[in-house]
Structure formats: structure tokens, C-alpha cells
Structure 1
Amino acid sequence: MELLGFSLAALMGLSLGLLGGGGSILTVPILVYVLGFGAKESIAMGLAVVGVTSLVGAASHWRKGNVRFRAALLFALVAMAGTYGGARLSALLSGATQLLLFAAVMLVSAFFMFRNGRRDAASAPSPHKAPVPVMVLAALGVGGLTGLVGVGGGFLIVPALVLLVGLPMKQAVGTSLLVIALNSLVGFAGYLGHVEVPWGALGVFTAIAVAGILTGTWASHFVSQATLKTAFSGLLVVMGVFILVKNREALMSVGEVTPTSVGAAVTGTPRSSGGP
């Protein structure tokens, strides 16, 4: 299972390189259900992996002129405040609850990715700038989601940079990787101190993911983005439903949880969970 899990790290890197997002959507389920780490450990590790991997990808896109540093820093600075707050707030939630939220995010992102994959390039909205308060709220929302459930937010950041900041699509993908990197690494810092991090496994997983994103960035010139997004959305639906099924007991008990039952949900989710 370890060999499979570390092999899938390359798939995570590929998705970031090809699509500018989707890395953490794959990373957390791999860490939880293939490598057997706990939910909170996996969310923290996922943020570190996606942060480092995205930074490498951003450097590759920067060499091609597809990173707008001013837009990235302005968006990231606001988002990072939300990310750190979300990471701290996550201490109040059980691991099972975080995974349920994560599954919901997967299904929503699958819908938008499928819709964007089918949209004809000619009908895509032309870039324009939204009012500053709207951009600030969007950045805070993306950041809070990143910290709370461990998603880099690329599937939200790319359209936000196009529709709200006014960047062309290619620059939005490259710029999003820098935003994801800053956002994710701040989120990881928010978990330090209340989550034990297995640094050895984290290092190996990250190194393989970095190789994947370099390959994905190179391959992005030869693969249809529309086809990739449609296929990836199907994968997200399957994985989102899988996570909901694995945590169905926690899902059924939402609204009637107590501190004791929350603790039980956490222990039943990760490594010790052998049931369907």
C-alpha cells in the first residue's frame, strides 16, 4: 500500500501541473485511505505537500511569463489571514467532520470543473476587475476553506483570478500556483503544535509530487484542458462519494454529536478503520 500511495503522489503533482489546481483534493484521500494516516495529520501534510509542490510549479510557470506577482501577493495576503484562522478553527472539529466537509468540497469542485471543461473557449467570460470588497471576500473565503479542510483552493483561485482580478487564463493558472503555495504553507503553519507530523513520509511524498508537477507543467502544452477537466471531475465525484460512504456514521450523527462521540468519530476514521 505504501508503494501505491507514494506512486499516487505523482498523480497529484500531475494534476497541479496540468490544471493549476486539484492537488490537495487528491492528496488528503491518498494519505488517509491508502497510506493510513489520520485525518488531521493528512490535512496538515497535504497542505505542506501542495505548498511546496505548487511553489515549484509556480517557478516553472514564471519562466514562461505566466505569473503576475502583484496579483498573487495581493490575493494571497488576504487569503493567508483566512487560512491561518481556518487552520486554528479546525482544532474544534473532529477528523471525521473535516473529511465530510472535504467530500462536499470535492463534489462542488467536480461540478464546476465539469462545467468549465465543457464550456467552449469562445464563450468564456472576458477578463475584468471586480470591486475590491468582492475580491477581499473571495480571498478570505478561499483562505478559510484552505485552512479548515486542507484544500489548496486552485479550483476556486483560478476562476477568481480570471473573473475578479482580470487575468487571462494562462496567467491565472500560473499565478494561482503561487497563491496556492503561500496559502497552503501558512495553513500548514497553523496546524503545527497540535498535529504530529511524520516528516520522513512527508519528505518522500513531496519529492515525488514535485517530479509530477514538473512533468504536468511540460505536458500541459500537449493535452486538451477541456478533456482533462471533464475526466478529473468524474474522478472527484467517485472519491467524494467514497469519502462520504466511509464516514457515513459521522454523517448520520451530524446535529447530535457530543464531545465523546466526536472523539470516537476521529478514531474511527483513519488508520484503525478497517470496515467498509
Structure 2
Amino acid sequence: MLHYLGYFAAIFIGLSLGILGGGGSILTVPVLVYLMGVSPVLSTAYSLFIVGSTSLVGAAGYFRKGLVALPTALVFLGPSLLAVFLTRKVLVPALPHELFTIGSLVFTKDLLVLVAFAVLMVAAATSMIRSGRPDAAADEPLGKTNYPLVLTIGAVVGLLTGFVGAGGGFLIIPALVLFARLPMKLAVGTSLAIIALNSLIGFSGDLSTGRAMDWSFLLGFLAFALGGIVLGTYLARFIPGASLKPAFGWFTLAMGAFILTKELLFHHA
């Protein structure tokens, strides 16, 4: 039964990526861990492939409409790609299985990934809940691009993408709107292009370590997510993403709180 819910969630992940340009990837790891039974660290690798491939299809749709700002994407991707590849190739494999202990709670690599992911979910939810005002004001480009901030946020997104397997759309969209001065629709398409390359480069770091992948499972899950993003890209013509972000944000906040409660308070239950 949980597996069927997991495949339904895959459609929802693609749907939110297509409409919002981000957000859905924050659910991929929890879905893989709690519904599909994949280990947390392996889930981050699977998430990179699923989110990257799904975003690539979505970005292609926006690109055909002229809604991808390639120069801005390239500026953002420089530090981001380097950070995500090094994180997957060097940092994650170098972490020992048991990291530290707080009281009776042993922080393993798997537990650290889940806790970090839950904290990221809470931050993402806060961003989405509060993002109505910036988005509403972002119908037209304003002023010049703040390149130092775009580069800095690119590096931060790359690190987060590599460590927890999320695309980072909740950081990319505000950065593109507020600092790169892109209108919202253009920011969504550009975000998908950045997420796609970031995630797939990160996944290549996992492949280079020789980690075994269940390709039949991965491709099956991806098929459902791709169906969702095709539908989401179509619905984005009629549904303003800004109106959906707060509701999605509250849902993400609840999921983050659930993971923190389960893993920190009931980890040994």
C-alpha cells in the first residue's frame, strides 16, 4: 500500500516542479525513505536523478517558450555545479557511519541526512509561506543583477543539493526574482534548468564512486514524476504559482515537523 502512495507522490512531486519551479524536490527523499523503504543516504542519490531528470523535461518546455534566462543560469551554475559535485564525490562518502552522540541518541550518517533534510524542509516551507509578496511584485524585471549574491547563493544551493538531494528551488526562485531581477515566469523556467543540471551533475558524483543503483525502480518512479511535470507545465498556464505556494508551504512544514519528531524523539521506538 505504501508503495502505491509513493508512486502517487511521485506525480505530485513532478506537478509542483512544473507549476512552482521548485518545492516538489523537497518531498522526494521523505517519499523514498518512508514510503518506498530506501535508505536515507541512497535516497539522496536517487533523489538527484529523479529531480534532475524531471526538471530537465520541465525546463525544456519552458525553454521552447523562451522562458529560460541562459546567461543568468550560467552565472548561477558556475559555483553551484562545483559545490554539488565535490559534495557527492568527496564529502558524503568521507563521512563515517557514526558521527557523534547526544545523550542516548547516536547520530549516524543516515540520521544526520534526515535531520538536515527536515530542517531544510522547515526553511523551505517558511520561504514558500512568506513568498507571496515578492512574487506578486515580480511581474517585471527591476534594476540590475546582483552578481555577487547570485554567485554566493549558487554555491550554497550546490552544497545543499549535494548533501540532502534536494534541488533547492525554494532558494533559487527568490534569488532569481530578488537578486537577478527576473520576472516570475522566467525565474521558474530558469530555476528548472539550474535544478536539472545541478542534480544530474551531483548524481554523476555518486556514479563515479561505484555505488550500485536499482535502475528498474529508479526509472519506474521517474516515469510517474515525468507525468506530473508534463501536467504541471501545462497547468502553469492557468494556475498562478504564487497562489499555491502558501498551501504547499504549510504541507511541507508539517512534513518537516513529522520527520524531526519521528527521528529525534522516537528514533529508538
Same fold (TM over 0.5): yes
Alpha carbons of structure 1 residues 128 and 90: separation in structure 2 relative to 1, 3 Å: farther
Could you list the per-position Cα deviations for residues 28-79 of structure 1 after superposition, in whole angstroms to 9, with x for gaps in the alignment?
A: 1110000010001111000100000000000011111101222212211221
Partner of 1:232: 248
How far off is 1:249 after superposition? Answer: 5.3
Aligned AA (2:261): V
Give the TM-score normalised by the residue count of structure 1.
Answer: 0.85
For the aligned residue pairs, the C-alpha RMSD in angstroms reads 2.1
Q: Contact 1:49–1:206 at 8 Å: present in 2 too? A: yes
* Contact 1:128–1:164, Cα closer than 8 Å, also in 2: no
| Aligned counterpart, 2:123 | 108
Are 2:148 and 1:133 equivalent residues in the alignment? yes
Native 8 Å contact 1:103 1:241 kept in 2: yes
CA distance in 2 between partners of 1:123 and 1:58 (Å) = 20
Aligned partner letter, 1:187: G
Aligned partner letter, 1:180: I
- CA 1:226–1:162: 2 relative to 1, 3 Å: closer
Corresponding letter in the other structure for 1:112: S
Which residue identity is paired with 2:197? L
After superposition, what is the alpha-carbon deviation per residue over 1:174-195, rounded to whole angstroms, capped at 9, x for unaligned? 0110100000011111222264
Q: Deviations over 1:170-225 (max 9, x none)?
A: 11100110100000011111222264321111001111101100100111122232
Output the CA distance in 2 between the equivalents of 1:149 and 1:208: 22
**1:190 aligned onto 2:205:** yes
Q: Amino acid of the residue matched to residue 239 of structure 1?
A: M
The 8 Å contact of residues 58 and 192 in structure 2, kept in 1 or not, is answered as yes
Partner amino acid, structure 1, of 2:258: F
Say yes or no: does 1:50 pair with 2:51. Answer: yes
Distance of aligned partners of 1:203 and 1:120 in 2 relative to their CA distance in 1, 3 Å threshold: closer
The 5-angstrom pairing of residues 30-45 of structure 1 reads 30-45=31-46
Partner of 1:213: 229
Q: 1:113 to 1:124 in 2, by over 3 A?
A: farther
For this pair of structures, how many residues does the alignment match?
253
Give me the whole-angstrom Cα distance separating, in 2, the residues matched to 1:123 and 1:198. 42
The gaps in structure 2 that reach 5 residues or longer are: 97-108
d(CA) in 1 for partners of 2:139, 2:120? 23
- 1:85-115 CA-to-partner distances (Å, cap 9, x unmatched) read 2223123160110111110011011111001
- 54-63 vs 73-82, which moves further: 73-82
Report if aligned partners of 1:44, 1:195 keep a CA contact under 8 Å in 2: no
5 Å-filtered alignment, 1:38-117, equals: 38-87=39-88, 88-91=90-93, 92=95, 94-117=109-132
**Paired residue secondary structure (1:222):** coil
8 A Cα contact 1:135 1:165, kept in partner: yes
Show the 5 A alignment for 1:118-157: 121-122=136-137, 127-157=142-172
Q: Which moved more, 1:230-239 or 1:161-170?
A: 161-170
SS in 1 for 2:83: helix
Q: Which one-letter code corresponds to 1:232 in the other structure?
A: F
Deviations 1:132-184 (A, max 9, x none): 33222111111111101111011111111122222221111001101000000
Return closer, same or farther for 1:23/1:56 CA change in 2, 3 Å cut-off. Answer: same
Conservation of the 8 A alpha-carbon contact between 1:40 and 1:195: no
